[in-house]
Structure 1
Amino acid sequence: MRYLMLCLALTLGLAHPLRANEAARAVISAQLEAFLAQDVARAYSYASGFIQQKFSSPEQFGAMVRDGYPMVWAPSDVTFLDPKEIAGKLWQNVRLRDAAGAGWIVEYEMIKTDEGWRINGVRVHAAPDASV
């Protein structure tokens, strides 16, 4: 009986990060889809309160992404990489290809809120190789 309880506890403990990762990926995917549809209000809804306060409106947020992060605004290819936990925060790495064909690694900082997972910021790096 103890063995069964231990196995159950380990299984549930390991499943929680997996569910968090799946939920974070769903939020990122939904935001990318919203950008592709040019639905900045919906894309803005996936940003954390910190990001929403910083840009104060969906239109300002959308303009910042469109002008500063074209690989996020209109990716031609999206591949989710392994997530990382850094200092207790979930970072989901995503490999994107922009409209010109360049490869990028976008690191999404994800935070858990009362409303679910939200995007709290991104870091962008050129992909180590051009193929995505």
Structure 2
Amino acid sequence: MPRILIALAFLALAALPGAADEPRNPGIETTIQSQINAFLKDDFETAFTFASPMIKGMFGSPQRFGQMVRNGYPMVWRPSEVQFLELRKQGPLLLQKVLLRDANGAPHVLEYNMVETENGWQIDGVQILAKPPVGA
């Protein structure tokens, strides 16, 4: 019984947001999910519209951007599951952690760098942080 109480206490603490955590941002989540939806349709033109001006300048075209995502971020191109985790502020950026499961069901944690522009929230970069432990 004491082990169950300890486990429940840890679960309750894990559910609390950390000091640097921001409240959920529907605009950010919609931007990320919309880009993923475009990737699922191989609609790289639409997916490219969710990229920041810096990212657009780096890749130059939706086709080059799509090729980079297919080759370097297959879990973003074809996720089987998308789950939004914590959001935190770092300078002018908001960093949104996302758990993605790839086509084989393997989990990946990514961090999306988000910037607010006159066109709304845009994706300014994505880093693969880690694969969470089995059972996450």
TM-score class, shorter? 0.7 to 0.9
Corresponding residue for residue 45 of structure 1? 49
Q: How does the TM-score come out when normalised to structure 1?
A: 0.82
Distance in 2 (CA, whole Å) between partners of 1:118 and 1:87 is 16
2:91 aligned with 1:107: no
**Structure 2 unmatched runs, 5+:** 1-21
Corresponding residue for residue 134 of structure 2? 130
Which of the residues 87, 90, 93 maps onto 1:89?
93
Cα 1:117–1:127 change in 2 (3 A) is: same
Distance in 2 (CA, whole Å) between partners of 1:105 and 1:118 is 19
Q: How far off its partner does 1:112 sit?
A: 0.5
Q: How far off its partner does 1:18 sit?
A: 4.9
Identity %: 44
RMSD: 1.4
Q: How does the TM-score come out when normalised to structure 2?
A: 0.80
Aligned length: 115
Cα 1:130–1:35 change in 2 (3 A) is: farther
Distance in 1 (CA, whole Å) between partners of 2:104 and 2:23 is 33
**Structure 1 unmatched runs, 5+:** 1-16
Decide which structure has greater helix share.
Answer: 1
Corresponding residue for residue 5 of structure 1? none
Give yes or no for contact 1:102–1:130 (8 Å, CA) kept in 2.
no
Which of the residues 74, 79, 85 maps onto 2:78?
74
